Structure 1
Amino acid sequence: MANDKRNALRTNQAGFSLLEVMSVALISMIITMTALPNMINAIGNIRMRSSMTSLAGVLQNCRILAVKQNKAMTTHFVARAYGSSSGVIAYVKLAIDSSDLGTGDSQVQLEAPVTRVTAPSGPGAPPTLDVSQLSFTPQTGDPTFNPTGLPCAYSGGNCPNGGFIYYFHDARAAAQMGWAALSISPAGRLKKWYWSGSAWTD
């Protein structure tokens, strides 16, 4: 009787077999490998949206400074290396000030590896946003805001009103890229655009 109880106890205490453990591990790996690309894209999308929001903020600040100081203010873009990568910095100066980025300038650093390009290119790149989508013919130079808060293209003291568009991409797994754009209408409206893989959305 006592032996039967001990045998039953041993049976109840039996663990998982090696085959069962390996099966569970294999299933977990398959699930992880399936979900990983979606996780990478989700992280990339968050990073891109965060960068566009930060850039929109510094452009709005440029506009506010132009009105407040009653002077034309320009937002410049520059690529700078930091750590093992490089990224884009947008900073604000007086339109007549051609000096480099200074510590006192209003600025924002986009999250690496977000890169600015004049127009999308390369495998899987989206088309540029056209007049039918923007309702204006865009420029791609550094944007200036005049003392009334309207965007313009500053050159030699002149600053004709106009709209702008800027494109950005990041690098993701399997040589993929995430794309975003930020437009400034001639009226000064900022709009963030994101490429869904088939269309530009906001």
Structure 2
Amino acid sequence: MQTALAILAAYLLGSVPFAMISSKLFGLADPRTYGSGNPGATNVLRSGNKKAALFTLLGDALKGWAAVFVAQQYGLSDNMIGLVALAVFLGHLYPVFLKFKGGKGVATAAGVLIALDPALGLAVLGTWLFVAFASRYSSLAAVLAAALAPVYAALLHGAAHPSIVVGIIAMALIGKHWQNIQRLLAGQESKIGSKKKA
């Protein structure tokens, strides 16, 4: 029962759509109606409102971090913490509050990884920031950071359990970005800071 409740609570927390909340707070249009249609921080940034995008980014990252942190504070086993980490991440990707059509999970994954292992989380986040600033493609940064996350985890922990969780999250992130990858290859992907389409 404890296991089921912890996973359900983590999933529901992950389902909280901060892109929608911030858009309402700042008087913006539904982020699903412009740009990439993705309810995430990068797309909210296309509205031109940096504060709303920052609120979304921090909220999405915080829910990932909080779910794992609380599980750790309750002294749950490593396996349980791993399941909670996956549940909050999948909650963001497939939120019950948005008919299971959520964001790409980059910020939430970062929050999860920082809670699991600050060094690992910061390494992945640093990779995303470097690629994002160098290329101005959020999707490219996310894919490369996700692909390298299991490598970082293996270097830090070997075959320890966190590496398995990181690998699953990485595969899910890359899968969620498949359309972005196709647009990148076709030279049609929009860059960070580009305005929403009319």
TM-score (norm 2): 0.28
Higher relative CO (Cα under 8 Å, sequence separation at least 6) belongs to: 2
TM-score (norm 1): 0.27
Larger relative helix fraction? 2
Larger relative strand fraction? 1
Q: Which has the larger radius of gyration?
A: 1
